[in-house]
Chain A
């Protein structure tokens, strides 16, 4: 039991949501995407701002419609005592607010958050000049206030963290933009049963190839057969991290990597603007 917090009931569950029969929900069979406005290759509009946490050395806030998260960078500051090192350490910690998801999350860090933290530090470390900050730690803390899709959340965290690092005046090789895409099976492959279960690859022929939805939201993610998150340094043209999950053919993966790189270049323009905007303010 957690003695350091105000205690509530030991067990509480979300109520069962019952939809009426005529309730129309989005399914992959629909012609349009879940929010009806976007084309498959469209991302949600990004709002990105620096400097909202005045006690941090650098900070950024990012919003992709419902996905909202804040990032604070502290450091370089004295690291944990783990022997002498000529290189600095980049430490990332991501935390979901308890109210950030459909289901309430716990206060403690769960394995998913630990995994995310690791992805984040792997995606950002190649871009930071840690050789210039010996013995020190740069801490990146992220609080997810609201999550609308796991992939978009990771991507937004990468983007925001790299902007916050630059805002903290830390020397970097390049900014890192994060982008996500989901493979949504085309309608018929779900609706009609496959003729031969043993030969699944034949059944998903070229006409039934999954559609690639950029920056999928939570409702779309429920139907995904796989997803990709790409972290990319736009001006050096290098990928720092790629996470592909689920089943997809090689051609689909390489196609979505292309899409993500293209999207990252668009995100870079937003990042550039957010950082340059702060230069203008002080002048």
Chain B
């Protein structure tokens, strides 16, 4: 924790403890820290939270990864199942990412149908995978027109503390790189795989990922013209906008999105891309280290 600012008064007459003040006036509370160049959790405005990646954490999945970014923890599991291909694409498989923001991870989410945020993140990841052509879906063909693999890529958020976008996409890419699918045989409408205890290159295959897009998010505080890297959930709730930069390993942009009412200058966007480039390299280093 950073040292707490002393003057936590909303008007000269009333003073509060730090936690009460934060609850009543989250924005004012944040500004007291920001004016000294730090954030309430002790980080600099431009610093990211410690990140770890673990591979193969779920043995019932065909590929899996757990990513922790500060207080945010997500687990991604990939399951390969057999399905009929689409009529207009008889030799292409399916790649179906979904993000679950269940009520376990934060009190902001209630049981029931996926929240708006969960739908948005799922769709963002879906679009990145599709439009950046991360995986050639023809690789997932078992028998043309008859059977293809359907990869169900499900992300479960266990603990939510902001920046679900970066954590989810990182876990998806890590889990996809961890996938091993048993080599299938197709016989009279039935797809069979050999039951073996140990998967190796003889009896299984890995996915050929054309590129590994990773996203880097920033929160925007319009009124103060402050840019926050890797916002946590308290910062997300007071920010007016978000900038998400998605880059692949060559540093090429895969997607740039800016949402919210906050205005941003061209220069600010350039600055974001610059910083995102550094951060995505660091993320890649963390991913490769663990593998």
Contact = CB atoms under 8 A, between A and B. Distances in A.
A81 B233 CA distance: 28
Interface string B60-73: 11001000000101
A72 B105 contact: yes
20 contacts: A5-B98, A12-B83, A12-B150, A12-B152, A13-B82, A15-B184, A53-B105, A55-B159, A56-B104, A56-B106, A56-B159, A97-B100, A100-B60, A107-B98, A139-B103, A141-B102, A141-B103, A145-B58, A145-B75, A145-B158
Contacts of B150: 8-9, 12
A17 B105 CA distance: 35
Contacts of A249: none
Contacts of A18: 192-195
A37 interface: no
How many residues of B sit at the interface, in one of the four size bands?
35 or more
A77 B102 contact: no
A137 to B, nearest CB: 12
B225 to A, nearest CB: 28
B60 to A, nearest CB: 5
Interface of A: 4-9, 11-20, 23, 52-56, 59, 66, 68, 70-72, 74, 77, 93, 95, 97-102, 104, 107, 139, 141-143, 145-147
From DSSP, what is the main secondary structure of chain A's interface residues? loop
Given A99-B60, A145-B57, 16 more contacts: A5-B114, A6-B96, A8-B94, A12-B83, A13-B83, A17-B194, A70-B104, A72-B103, A97-B58, A97-B100, A97-B154, A98-B79, A99-B77, A142-B104, A143-B158, A146-B60
A90 to B, nearest CB: 15
Contacts of B79: 98-99, 104
A70 B191 CA distance: 35
Given A7-B96, A72-B104, A97-B154, A16 B58 contact: no
A97 to B, nearest CB: 5
B84 interface: yes
Contacts of A100: 58, 60, 77
A54 B94 CA distance: 35
B156 A143 contact: yes
A110 to B, nearest CB: 14
A15 B73 CA distance: 31
Contacts of B103: 72, 74, 93, 139, 141
Interface string B88-102: 000000101110101
Given A6-B122, A9-B84, A55-B233, A15 B193 contact: yes
A98 B102 CA distance: 13
A182 B158 CA distance: 30
Contacts of B113: 4
A156 to B, nearest CB: 15
A14 B104 contact: no
Contacts of A71: 104
Contact of A74 (B94, B97, B107, B161): B107
A12 B85 CA distance: 10
A184 B253 CA distance: 58
A139 B119 CA distance: 24
Scoring A14, A16, A77 by chain B CB atoms within 10 A of each residue's CB, the highest score goes to A16
B123 interface: yes
Contacts of B71: 54-55
A70 B114 contact: no
A178 B61 CA distance: 26
Interface in B11-70: 57-61, 64
Contact of A98 (B77, B104, B159, B193): B77
